[in-house]
Amino acid sequence: MDYTLGVDIGTTSVKTVLYDVKGKVHGYSNNGYPLYQDTPDMAEEDPEEIFSAMSDGITELVRKANMKPGELKGVAFSCAMHSLILLDENHKPLTRAITWGDNRAVNYADKLKASPEGMEIYKHTGTPIHPMTPLTKLIWLRNDHADLFKQARWFVGIKEYILYKLFGVLKEDYSIANATGMFNIYNMDWDEQALKLAGVTRDQLPDLVDTTYQLKGMREEYAKVLGIDINTPFIIGASDGPLANLGVNAIQPGVVAVTIGTSGAVRVVTDKPHTDPKARVFCYYLAKNMWVVGGPVNNGGVVFRWVRDQLCAPEKVTAEQMHIDPYDLLTEIAAKVPAGSDGLLFFPFLGGERAPIWDANARGSFFGLNRTHTRAHMIRAVLEGIVYNLYTVALALEEVVGQPTSIQASGGFARSALWRQMLTDIFEQDVAIPESFESTALGAATLGMYSLGLIDSLSDVSNFVGTTVVHHPDPKNFQAYRELIPIYIRLSRSLQPEYKNIAEYQRRHEHEDEDAEKSE
């Protein structure tokens, strides 16, 4: 048997999956690590804890599979985007891994975004100017932590650090580099203007390589721990968003991948880089002639979770007594209300928002409430609001790359037939739910198999991914949405100027509450 390991270094855990060359799963391991948040806007992780999680995952699967020498053909990586670690001259970390969720660069990001230079840089890096990116984190560190910044000899992400420990070389794939905000998508090289702004030089960054690049000749001590041959090829792989598209088989032109997990995203693969005159979408490299254009949203299933916990505490208790998932009870209640929630709209921006409005100050709201509306209306309106928001991202995407031809949807939301149908009706498109286990790890393994010559083309992924169910738009429902979506879009624009004011008010009061607590 020939095996490939897909290793997905995520925000909360490393997921490791063992596949054969037919894409069949032979083992799975999930190894978590804590997020360090000493202050609300900090989001760091310990590089050594992530390294151990990676190492534990591989060791466990290799041991359990009882492989013969030579059966493990390669190990391929996916990694969360935008992490930053400062290393000293001996490649020892001076910081933890500062993750995409860390918001401390916000003031520098806002300032750059508002300047003409911000737009220029977006246009040749394909990465929105945002505190998530290493570019803005470097500007923040250089200004606010100058001593630390000066001590640093290298600036890398978590995957580069892990591979350095294993192989003793600093390499960065185009896809992860792309997401730093300092990579020129037209020259396929570090972007001089962005580097200057960050205050770093190319000799402080890893060498750039393609996503199919193989590392060989691991340090013996680690090969022993992992239980593998030191010459087992490690395929550097790409970042998680683009690999998720590959892993749900959304790589043909016009096939849009919509994900609603805790957060959400809308993404499509194109054969060349594209950017948006309004800077609403990202453009990240996947593999040769494959670019992933799309928008990430903060407010996916996490908003439904808020409804479950804050608006529907009684239903949650009932569901627990009935031994059913509270989400299933809530969607059952929502199903009793017609499409469009009798004119109740919901803006899901509880956690600020990235695409399409890119406004960290955005806040949520119900609009159109009347006395006949019930809690069931509110639940349904929330589910619809999350999808309206993703739909507006899809509209932005359509302006940049053209009309979608079909939709592949995935994430926790897909457990609900009602929510899947809502997506179908609001998008007025057939929606297929692909059957793939851990799409991102599968994307990595597929890229790995391609690099190793075990498959001829990335489109062979279609043999690995099945379809569980296909939904078709229901004319009864989409009429309502056709009337309501324009109202949602107009309202969305008119609410925007007030987000900053309400967020400032909330922040001021948060501090007052904290101060009051301290003095008690």
Residue numbers at the binding site for ligand ADP (CB under 6 A): 261-262, 301-302, 304-305, 325, 327-328, 331, 411-413, 415-416, 419
Least CB distance to ligand ADP at residue 417 (A): 9
Q: Which is nearer to ligand ADP, 153 or 305 (CB)?
A: 305
Min dist CB 41 to ligand ADP, Å, is: 21
Burial class (CB in 10 A: 0-12, 13-18, 19+), 70: exposed
| Residue number, 344 or 422, with CB nearest to ligand ADP | 422
CB nearer to ligand ADP: pick between 343 and 412: 412
Cβ closer to ligand ADP: 140 or 304?
Answer: 304
In the bound state with ligand ADP, the residue whose beta carbon lies nearer, of 154 and 413, is 413
Instruction: Look up residue 34 and give its DSSP letter.
Output: P
* Angle (deg, nearest 10), helices 475-519 and 375-401: 110
In whole angstroms, how close is the CB of 386 to ligand ADP at the nearest point? 8
In the complex, minimum distance from the CB of residue 371 to ligand ADP, in angstroms, rounded to a whole number: 28
Q: Which helix (H) or strand (E) holds 259?
A: strand 255-260
Question: Residue 409 Cβ, how far from ligand ADP at the closest point, in Å?
Answer: 11
* Separation between Cα atoms, residue 276 and residue 283, nearest integer Å: 9
Kindly tell me which of 149 and 413 has the beta carbon lying closer to ligand ADP: 413
- Tell me the residue type at 321: Q
Q: Which long-range contacts (CB under 8 A, 24 or more apart) does 285-289 make?
A: 285/174, 285/175, 285/178, 285/185, 285/211, 285/238, 285/242, 286/175, 286/211, 286/238, 286/242, 286/243, 286/245, 286/246, 286/251, 287/210, 287/211, 287/212, 287/238, 287/447, 287/450, 287/458, 288/210, 288/212
Q: Rounded to the nearest whole angstrom, what is the least distance from the CB of residue 10 to ligand ADP in the complex?
A: 8
**Nearer to ligand ADP by C-beta: 223 or 418?**
418
Task: Please calculate the CA angle 473-474-478 and round it to the nearest 5 degrees.
Answer: 85
Residue 512 CB, nearest approach to ligand ADP (Å): 31
Q: Which is nearer to ligand ADP, 59 or 262 (CB)?
A: 262
For 502, the enclosing helix (H) or strand (E) is helix 475-519
Contacts of 269 by beta carbon, 8 Å cutoff, 6+ apart = 242, 245, 250, 251, 252, 253, 255, 286, 290, 291, 292, 293
Contact 83, 158 (CB under 8 A): yes
Q: Provide the phi-psi class of 438: left if phi over 0, else alpha when psi is between -120 and 50, else beta.
A: left
Nearest approach, Cβ of residue 226 and ligand ADP (Å): 26
